[in-house]
Amino acid sequence: ETGVTQTPRHLVMGMTNKKSLKCEQHLGHNAMYWYKQSAKKPLELMFVYSLEERVENNSVPSRFSPECPNSSHLFLHLHTLQPEDSALYLCASSQEPSYNEQFFGPGTRLTVL
Amino acid sequence: AQSVTQPDIHITVSEGASLELRCNYSYGATPYLFWYVQSPGQGLQLLLKYFSGDTLVQGIKGFEAEFKRSQSSFNLRKPSVHWSDAAEYFCAVGARQTGANNLFFGTGTRLTVIP
């Protein structure tokens, strides 16, 4: 595997389900990110982890719970989601300092019924 | 606060024609600027970036962008568009916060290429 991988690529879940999105980066980076991409809206930064510590949490509802067990893996745990949470969830990684670009995974297309 | 405006939601060009996608940013200090491209069902791929130095930046796939501080712009250009360039293009401004780099994205410009 190379770059940034995300699994699953597609996920359909009911509002009462619990699921997790997984992201893995194979680039040796030290920062990882979760973004939400909805139609007609800019990418929304949800969470940032730097050196495995959460450094950003942009007022994301508690039904989204991130986890970063090590510098290569990032999870987004989902529970009791709403239909408006349906979107493409993108994971990215970068190597500090900040002038290094972010590398994105292919995303997980989430549909909440 | 940082923000990015991409005024063109959708642009259609003929194959072989030149292309310019507009991007205006708002940021109090010297920005870090990026252009990304997203094909359907894919993540974002970096086309080019500007941090400092020469204001004309060359990227992959024949793209270039020019940073104009006086206009707060970072427009993307390509002299001759190929059908494979059809995709969504995102401009982003980077801001150094405590911790990792944060990017602020525009809403994107969808490019259609006609034969």
Question: What distance in Å separates the CA atoms of residue A78 and residue A46, rounded to the nearest whole number?
Answer: 13
The pLDDT assigned to A99 comes to 65
pLDDT at A32: 93
φ, ψ for residue B62 (rounded to 5)? Answer: 80, 10
For residue A78, name the pLDDT band (cuts at 50, 70, 90).
very high
Q: Which of A45, A49, A90 sits opposite B102 (nearest CB)?
A: A45
Q: In whole angstroms, give the CA distance from residue B103 to residue A45.
A: 8
Residue B49 confidence (pLDDT): 93
What is the rounded average pLDDT for all residues in chain B?
Answer: 91
**To the nearest whole percent, how much of chain A has pLDDT over 70?**
96
pLDDT of residue B5: 95
pLDDT of A7 above 90? yes
List pLDDT tens digits, range A8-58.
Answer: 999 999 888 899 999 999 999 999 999 999 987 888 999 989 877 877 777
Q: Decide if A30 contacts A96 (C-beta within 8 A).
A: yes
Q: Averaged over A55-76, what is the pLDDT?
A: 90
List, in sequence order, every residue forming a beta bridge with B67; answer none if it has no partner. Answer: B74
Mean pLDDT of chain A: 90
pLDDT surpassing 90 at residue B104? no
Shortest CA distance to B30 belongs to which of B13, B53, B7?
B53
pLDDT at A58: 73
When CB atoms are compared, the residue of A53, A99, A106 closest to B43 is A106
Is there a contact between A78 and A24 (Cβ–Cβ < 8 Å)?
no
Spell out a b/e string for B70-88, using b for 16 or more CB atoms within 10 Å of the CB, else e.
eeebbbbebeebeeebbbb
Contacting residues of A for B100, CB less than 8 Å apart: 31, 33, 48-50, 55-56, 94, 96, 98
Question: What value does the mean pLDDT take over residues B23-36?
Answer: 88
Which of A27, A96, A98, A100 best tests the B interface by mutation, with the highest count of B CBs <10 A? A98
The mean pLDDT of B13-25, rounded to a whole number, is 97
Largest interatomic CA distance in chain B = 48
Instruction: Please give the average per-residue pLDDT across B36-50, as a whole number.
Output: 92
Mean pLDDT of B72-98: 90
Checking if the pLDDT of B2 tops 60, the result is yes
Span B91-106, average pLDDT:
75
3-state secondary structure of A1: coil
Taking contacts as CB-CB distances below 8 angstroms, the residues of chain B near A56 are: 97, 99-100, 102
Put simply, the chain B residues between 29 and 88 with a CB less than 8 A from any chain A CB are 32, 34, 36, 41-46, 49, 51
